[in-house]
Structure 1
C-alpha cells in the first residue's frame, strides 16, 4: 500500500529550492573540505583533472569515489569496482523507496532530476519535514544542489590546492556528517517504539560490520530497522 500524501507538500518552485539550498549551506562547508581531500587523492592516483571533475559532477558519491581510487590503476578491475560502488551506494535504493510517496507526485523528468542530488544529509532533513507534514521537496532538491555544488567545487580546489588539507580526519571532520545525522534522529519521534527500532538497526549494522562483507552494514542496518518499523506499524494500525 502506497502512502497517500498531499500534493501541495511536494511543490517545487524556486523559492522552496532556494530555501533548501540555504539550509544545507552550513553542512556543505564541511563537504568542501572532504572534496578537497578527494581532489588531492585523485591527482595523486593519476586521474586527470577532467576525469576527476566529471566523476564528482556526474557521480556525486563521496565514499564510492574514494573507494574507486583504491582500485584505480593501469588495469582497472571493472567487476570488483562495480560491485564495490554498488555496495556502498545501495542505501540509495532505500532512500528512493522512502521518498517514493512524495516523488511520485512529480513529473518523471523532475523526479529523476531530484534523485540525482540526493545524499544522506538532504534526505534526512527532507524526510523529517515530510513526516512532520511540512514541505520537504525544496530541502531535498535545493539542499542537494548545495551539497553537489560544494562537492564539485571542493574537488576542483583539491586538484589545485589540495596539499593544504591532506588529512581531514586528523581535524575530526570525519565526525561531522555522523553527528549531523544523529541530530536528525534525535529531532524525530521519541518513544519506546522508535528506540527499539533504532536499537535493532544499530545492532544489525554492527553485526554486519563485524561479520559480513565490507560496506554491507549500511544496507543491513537500514533493512533491519525499516522492516521492523513496517511490521510494528501494521500491527499497531490493526487495533
Structure 2
C-alpha cells in the first residue's frame, strides 16, 4: 500500500479532534433541532430520562420525531420499526460508500465509528477521501460533535424548549439541505456526475410524489448508483 493510501486511514486523537472542530459550525444548528425534539417529547408525555436516553442511544433526529408521532398508550411496534428503518435505510448506502476506506480498521473500531455517522460528517469525510485526504477523523470526530450537540439541544429543549418550538419558522430546516448541496457543488465536476445526479434527482422526486413516505432517499440513491454503473466516461466520449 502506498504512503498516500496509508495516510487516508489516519485515525488518532489529533485527527478526531480536527474532525470535531470542523463540524462544530454545522453542529450549532443541530442544537436547535435537538431542542425542538426535547420540547416535542415532553409534550408527548415522555419522562425526561427517557428523552435523554433516546437522543443519546438513537441519535437519529427524523426517526425520533417519527417515533413521537406514533407514541401513545399502545405503541405499534411493527409500524414503528418499519418507519424507523425506512427513514434510516440510507445509512446502508452510506456505509457501503465508506467501506473501501474503513475495511482495514478492526471490526469493533469500524462499527464504533459508524455509530455516529450522519449526513453531514458522512458527506465531509467522503469528500475528503475523494480528494485523497484522510477522512476517518472527520467521520468520527465530526460525528461526536453532532452527537454531543444533539444531546445538548435535547436537554435545552426539555428545560427551555418553548423559545424555539418551531425551527422551520426561522428557516433552520434548510440548513442541512444547503450544507449537503454545498458539499456536492464543491466536489468533482464532470458530465458523467451531472447525469448521475439528474437521474437520482428525478427518481427521488417521483418516489416522493408516488411512493410511501421516506422512500425517496433510498430510491434516489439506488437510481444514482445504477446510473453510475452504466454511465461511464468512455461511453460518454463516444
Look up the match of 1:129: 128
User: How do residues 167-186 of structure 1 correspond to structure 2 at under 5 angstroms?
Assistant: 167-186=166-185
Q: Deviations over 1:173-210 (max 9, x none)?
A: 00000000000000011111111110110000000000
Look up the match of 2:116: 117
Deviation at 1:233, TM superposition (A): 4.0
Would you say the 8 A contact 1:7–1:105 is kept in 2? Answer: no
Q: Does 1:98 align with 2:102?
A: no
Partner of 1:189, secondary structure, is coil
Q: Does 1:17 align with 2:12?
A: no
Q: Distance in 2 between matches of 1:234 and 1:115?
A: 32
**Which range is displaced more, 187-196 or 170-179?**
187-196
Would you say the 8 A contact 2:38–2:155 is kept in 1? Answer: yes
Unaligned ranges ≥5, structure 2:
none
User: How do residues 42-121 of structure 1 correspond to structure 2 at under 5 angstroms?
Assistant: 42-121=41-120
Residues paired across the two proteins, number: 234
Q: TM-score, normalised by structure 1?
A: 0.95
Look up the match of 1:159: 158
Would you say the 8 A contact 2:192–2:232 is kept in 1? Answer: no
Partner of 2:231, secondary structure, is helix
Partner of 1:158, secondary structure, is helix
Deviation at 1:14, TM superposition (A): 0.4
Look up the match of 1:230: 229
Q: Deviations over 1:136-178 (max 9, x none)?
A: 0110000000000010110111111101100000000000000
Look up the match of 2:209: 210
Would you say the 8 A contact 2:39–2:162 is kept in 1? Answer: yes
Would you say the 8 A contact 2:30–2:149 is kept in 1? Answer: yes
Partner of 1:125, secondary structure, is helix
Q: Distance in 2 between matches of 1:106 and 1:97?
A: 15
Would you say the 8 A contact 1:21–1:144 is kept in 2? Answer: yes
Q: TM-score, normalised by structure 2?
A: 0.95
Would you say the 8 A contact 1:206–1:217 is kept in 2? Answer: yes
Deviation at 1:105, TM superposition (A): 1.1
Partner of 1:118, secondary structure, is coil
Deviation at 1:97, TM superposition (A): 0.3
Would you say the 8 A contact 2:52–2:155 is kept in 1? Answer: yes
Partner of 1:24, secondary structure, is helix
Would you say the 8 A contact 2:208–2:214 is kept in 1? Answer: yes
Q: Distance in 1 between matches of 2:145 and 2:78?
A: 32
Would you say the 8 A contact 1:18–1:142 is kept in 2? Answer: yes
Moved over 3 A (4+): 233-236
